[in-house]
Structure 1
Amino acid sequence: MKRYLFPTILLSYCFYAQVPSGYYNGASGLTGYALKSKLHDIISKKHVSWNYDDLPGHYNQTDLDRYYDYDGTNTSILLDTYSEKPDGADAYEYTANDLIGSASAEGQGWNREHMMPQSTFHSHYPMHSDLFYVVPTDARINQLRKNYPYGISSTTPSKIFYTFSNTSKIGKSAIPNYAYIGRVYEPIDEFKGDVARSLLYFAVRYEGKLGTFNYNNNVNPSSDTNPLNGTEEQSFDPAYIKMLLQWNIQDPVSQREIDRNNAVYVLQKNRNPFIDHPQWVQTIWGQEEDKVAPRAPMNLQVTATGAYFTTLSWASSSNEDVIGYKIYQNGTFIASTAETSISVDHLEPSTPYRFTVKAYNNNYLYSADSNSISVNTLPSDAYSKDLFISKYILGTSNNKAIEITNTTGHDVNLNDYKLSIQLLNDHGYYFPAPYELEGIVQNNESFVIVNPHANFSCYTIDQSKFVSAAPQMTFTGSQYLELQYKSNTVDAIGVDSQNNSSYLSNVSLYRKKNINQPVGVFNIREWDSYERDYCKDLGVVLSASDTFVSKREFILYPNPVAENLFIEGQVKEIKTAQVLDLAGRVIYTEQKPFKNKKYIMVQHLQTGSYFLKIDGKVYRFIKK
């Protein structure tokens, strides 16, 4: 591949192209979809989700052309892979100022191209503004590409519909063994590896959500344009995966991709692992498929039940190639997991349910059903029926934060939860695309969503679970906000279709301690109001007074401790014990911990200092 970098520039960029030390800890030695899932965990953590309108400004850091027709001086030209001619002069060039909405011909301006079309994920955040696959391209080519997949075009002239200035084209699909026969956009060879690694990044970054996206079900090979196949692990249609693997080999990682990966990391705080380690593409998707269905899971049982949830566990299938389990409620598929336990929530009180589990392997061959287990939910319990918003902070400038708390009695998978905001324009009130949550929140844990430009005196960006400049985190106090599960309202801040500025502007609202249930209709009497920028205990961070002023009603021994931390005092009535790190983050929670014993097991902790919080009172101990 031809490059026009001056040597001094190249050396400078190679020196910068370093993966941060420890970034991929835990990935070594893994293969197949286990590696993919680990990479998902790594690159999803602390991903900063910018507002879609922020991207044009960021492209001056991520997408300037220092690689083709470059004379070594400062440049303001954007690199457009849809029009770039690696071996000659480009037909046209753009700067960031040439952003336009639409075009009738090539060369009129550029706009933002979603390499995975927005229709895939319904334009929701954080997918909507991810810099790794939202790139600047010629506006006309972007329009003509529509939501067609990238692919191999037919070479028959009558089946080529557009050929562009750098010879990329839109034509009839000629991807070998792929059911889709509609139109594809074929980039030039210079950028096929770039495309493959971007799409595979998408498959890793949004694992856990892929099954909720629009995907190719091969009902109509002419119109099923999306190459996703609905699986979380394999992600794409097998024939499409083969093409991407070939493109990854055919067009190796370039210096441009390395530099862009580093520049996006500065902005988004995550990386594309297939630029850092392109061999991982083959390690994950090049595995041999198992031809034998796994054995059924055994000993399905109930380990906990409340009014709105039940927790199931089972013995793992004896086959080594099992990659996951599917859970069925009353015969209907409801969830999948790679673990051997799961909490099923959003159940109804005093209701019977029946559950079974199936195992599956990397060829998506399924086992027979496990044993069936019947569950009757309780009429009521002491837990919250769902997550709830516990703090709302609107402070100076971009000091905006939302805290959400889980006291449901079980771990909660956040992948179906969304934060939604109502805005007002000339046409009235409307809801823009929501911001989707993800990952797992433990029972008795609170987590924080914060604006990336926030600058609180008592809370840092690094302490938050989510960082986003999506519309939901740009509230000014007049908007209605809500936490949603799927399409249902779980909890709300403000009043729908009203200006809420009289009680939501320049204020910190803390849910009263006696309120532990979400409500669909906002009630200001459930909240304590503080001055703007107030953020004490945000995200369960303990203050100094909480840590050291509590009365010594209990004695902890031995301290330092190696295995079991004994508690002396009146402990039988204790409802909750929590182990927290020095930042106040919950590491471990135990309900009714001293019902049959007088100690907390801490042998699993790493050496260091911790807090033990017992029904609100806090004691410090040292783990040897």
Structure 2
Amino acid sequence: MVKEIIYLCILISTYNMKRLLLLTLSVITSFSIQAQDCDDLFISEYVVGSGNNRALEIYNPTDAAVDLFGYKVGRFRDGSGTPMLLDLAGTIPAFGTYVIAIDKRDPNGTGFEEQVDLAIQAVADTFVNPVYVQANSPFYFNGDDAVPLIKGDGTTIVDLVGRIGEDPGTAWADANGTWWTTDKTLIRKPGVLSGVTINPVAFVVEAEWDSLPEDTFTELGWHNCDCASVGVNDAETAKMNMFPNPAADKQLMISTSVEMESIQVFNIIGQEKDRVNFAYGATTQRYNLEHLRTGVYVVRVTMSNGAILSRKVMLGQ
């Protein structure tokens, strides 16, 4: 329960008098119990690309497999308060992902039946919603549709992309007016440990998501999350910041809340490409990776308290 008292002073002027009115407004906002960190599934990747390139990636942040029975995904179309939903099936392994793609696989398809990109097909765990029906088309989301992950009776929101009841126009945008939820791939930041379980007052997309260009599918099928690196109890005591990302000049600044013992850099197939060890520990390190090829890498930092945190980074232009 959050309670704010807002004092609003309104000065009302007329030709023959002035009055000062002091209005006290009590604004009470009630919140449902929020999900515990690393305790339930959430959306880790969102794809709205060209043609029929639509996909969602669901991440399991727990240390046990999760049965998808009872979970649903879909959309709140164009600001609607009523969702279109489809049921999920299958199992997501501990710290694993589950990729859902729209079922458009006809290589000769054109127009509305254009084939979904082969890169999405290669990593998809399931294909859904092959036929568009206007009254019920849960996986035909566009940039102006709120996209939920729901479980149970259909009213328990586990995660949400966007804001229910709001039609942002073409897409939700950042403060500069740049569209984020259309013609983009969005990836959840590693530090996000749980989903959005209540409808936000405003959807500040860049707070929890990183943006990649249209039709980028290389990140589907795996996700970097701090839940897989540290125990739930350690998440509050082991923090890492790494910037810039992307690192165009291949220079990184890494800072941590606990002394670092080592930094390792892996390519996307898991090969170690660089490593530095600290004899006396450090909490800040400038890291030169100019010798590495341009591409996506995973930086893994081991702390003196045993915690391990990982971040994905793009090196070069």
The TM-score normalised by the length of structure 1 is 0.26
More helix by share: 1
Higher normalized strand content (fraction of residues): 2
Larger radius of gyration: 1
Question: Higher relative contact order at CA 8 Å, sep ≥6: structure 1 or structure 2?
Answer: 2
